Structure 1
Amino acid sequence: MSRPKPATFDKKKIVAENRKARFEYTIDTVYEAGIALTGTEVKSLRFGEGSIAESYAEVRDGSVWLVNANVPEFSHGNRFNHEAKRPRKLLLHEREINKLHGAVAREGMTLVPLSVYFNGRGRAKVELALAKGRKDHDKRAAIKEREWKREAGRIMRDRG
């Protein structure tokens, strides 16, 4: 019998975060995926460099790829340094890949990376979300709700 997965992932060191994704998309399911990196990419990420703000993931040839993620070249790298914006393979179980492929193909969902981090064992991981794009009126409603919660917190704090 397999061990149940924790509700939240064990994040030790967050390298890059896509903060706009939670506003731009309605998050449905969140997956933790490993990421296939070269040596200089790992070193660059350990120094806290990297960005996933404009990146996305896609299912291609039976595997999931992280596209347009920026991991800058390692400063002390030599001629074997990596390319900054190359597509990187995400490591998921075949069952998860099939679920993602079906959701993206049928339901019009999108694969959005939420964060890149190192877990407790020192492995680089990507928090990948299956999400649906929000319309402008949904975004306005989200802003309104967030401001109301903030105002309600102020009122409760002031009244004691």
Structure 2
Amino acid sequence: MAKASKFDKIVNIKNKKASFQFEFIEKFVCGMVLKGTEIKSIREGKVSLTEAFCVFLRGELYVRQMHIAPYSMAASYNHEAVRDRKLLLSKKELEKLETKSQEKGLTIIPVRIFINDRGLAKMEIALGRGKKLHDKRHDLKEKDAKREIQRMAFD
């Protein structure tokens, strides 16, 4: 019988609004620089990505407005809930993202946070373009059609 890992709890926090508001062009997986109790809060699933966005400062990529709730078991050494967190990518990927994000209408959006098999917190970011109202309506029609087809299959 396989030995149970300490990372068995699956953490997969998604930014559900992002796929509705943006059309993803390209996705990247990057590491995050975390402090103290932030990783424990992430493992508990207490993260919000709804208002988060990525920005370049001094040639490095940071995520802003990502809310990681304070860890409940920490005494006085808790972290700030909302702060800029550095994202770790290779130089080639950073240069590519920086040039593409300067194009009109393109932005970098955090899509999801997960814990990999080694126990490290990773973030999936996407280069995206904002959807127009008619694109959103089209996506809603497709979603409704799929739901109807599934209902018919079970009846």
Return the TM-score normalized by structure 2. Answer: 0.87
What's the offset of the Cα at 1:137?
A: 1.0
What's the offset of the Cα at 1:14?
A: 2.5
What's the offset of the Cα at 1:154?
A: 4.3
Alignment match of 2:74 (pick from 39, 58, 77): 77
SS at match of 2:71: coil
The equivalences for 1:1-160 within 5 A come to 13-155=10-152, 157=153
Letter in 2 for 1:47: E
Q: Which runs of 5+ in 2 are unaligned?
A: 1-8
Q: Which runs of 5+ in 1 are unaligned?
A: 1-11
Letter in 1 for 2:133: D
Give the length in aligned residue pairs.
147
Aligned partners of 2:12, 2:81: CA distance in 1, in Å? 16
Aligned partners of 2:113, 2:141: CA distance in 1, in Å? 29
Aligned partners of 1:36, 1:158: CA distance in 2, in Å? 46
RMSD (CA atoms): 1.8
Given that 2:61 and 2:86 are in contact with CA atoms closer than 8 Å, whether structure 1 keeps it comes out as yes
What's the offset of the Cα at 1:46?
A: 1.5
Given that 1:15 and 1:50 are in contact with CA atoms closer than 8 Å, whether structure 2 keeps it comes out as no
Aligned partners of 2:40, 2:150: CA distance in 1, in Å? 42
Aligned partners of 1:52, 1:76: CA distance in 2, in Å? 23
Q: Identity of paired residues, percent?
A: 37
Aligned partners of 2:44, 2:34: CA distance in 1, in Å? 15
SS at match of 1:102: helix
What's the offset of the Cα at 1:107?
A: 3.9
Aligned partners of 2:58, 2:21: CA distance in 1, in Å? 28
Letter in 2 for 1:26: E
Aligned partners of 2:154, 2:63: CA distance in 1, in Å? 46
What's the offset of the Cα at 1:54?
A: 1.0
Aligned partners of 1:76, 1:150: CA distance in 2, in Å? 42
Aligned partners of 1:105, 1:124: CA distance in 2, in Å? 28
Aligned partners of 2:154, 2:49: CA distance in 1, in Å? 39
